[in-house]
Amino acid sequence: MLRISLILLLLLALSACNEVPSEKVVSLKLQHPPSDADWQRAAVHRISVVGGRPHKEILFPDIDQDMVHTSTASCHHGAALPEPITVEVRSFYTDSQLYLQLKWPDATADRQIRQWRYNGESWQTSNAMEDGFGILWPGKRKPEKFSCARACHLDDFGVQGARFHAQNRMKLAGTDTRFDLWNWRAERTGRFGFADDRYLDQEGMHGDLPGELFRENSRAVLQENGLKAFADGDQPVYDQEGEPFAGRFIPAGSTAPGYLTELPSGDRADISAHSEHVDGHWVVTLRRALQTGSPRDVQFSSGQEFAFGLSVMDNTLYDHYASKYEESLLLVAEDD
């Protein structure tokens, strides 16, 4: 009680400042959705995420010089790891909604995963991936010793001479039963204003409602014509607006998304996301109901503290940065 009161006094005393540092994510209650002015004076908690691979113009493919595996905070091999990324996290809540804002530096806004481009004769697809992040909630009201490393494991690990192979897989082990997972992807969810509401168990990651929201925009896949997706001779079926290309004139330089997104519904549509890339930074604001009623979701309540882990992806699906220390979100009660 006394500690929460001191936190409130500190925030009020420093409310004129642009940044108020905090040792955890402190969420104050508002009577209205947060405005730009509210976000500017919100308490700032900085999380250092480590162990990923930054998107650069030149990557060194030599296994003796470059990192061999830098995909999680729990296990690294090879050369020195890249510099950590600092993520600024702010939060507010109302009677019914939680608002969470994440801001981190990223010089390249990667949001065109496997984009198609027509050269006037044939379609070509890029190897580009997308930026993203994941927030993992163990669902415990009282913070425990928890970080993303607890939910990341190596499968098919092996070393043969100078060659290393392994596949990282997010899954739970031991006595853990199910964690809530919020997954934002710059292209496949960010463009449509949501974050994918998923959960993690001993088998891996699953959507809160079964089914796949994302599929390749590929004639080979959609029409099963024997080709592999994105292989030579393949082509997209739909344009950027979701309209089919069939029977239309296609000018050179036309583009099409590499993946199609089906908008979520039900339990999987709980998290809205507003995202923008400004001055070399991603700024993503999430909104979710405090109480969803779903057994697959963490349920938030005033005066409680919730542990979480954070991962950040930079133009990749796998080599993510991850928080390695205990992080938590405190919803400060009005009467404390």
pLDDT tens-digit readout, 314-331: 988 777 788 988 899 999
The DSSP code sequence of 95-129 is SSEEEEEEEEE-SS--B-TT-EEE-SS-EEE----
Judging by DSSP bridges, how do beta strands 43-50 and 20-21 pair with one another? parallel
**Whole-angstrom Cα distance, residue 165 to residue 16?**
52
CA angle centred on 76, ends 71 and 81, rounded to 5°: 80
Strand, helix or coil at 39?
helix
Tell me the CATH number of domain 2-331, given options 3.40.50.720, 2.60.40.1190, 3.30.300.130, 3.10.129.10: 2.60.40.1190
Residue spans of the domains in the chain: they are 2-331
Q: Which residue carries 């400004």 as its tokens?
A: 278
Q: Which residues of the chain have pLDDT under 70?
A: 1-22, 52-81, 140-170, 174-176, 336
**Whole-angstrom Cα distance, residue 196 to residue 264?**
8
**Whole-angstrom Cα distance, residue 154 to residue 159?**
13
* pLDDT of 16: 37
* pLDDT of 86: 96
* pLDDT of 166: 44
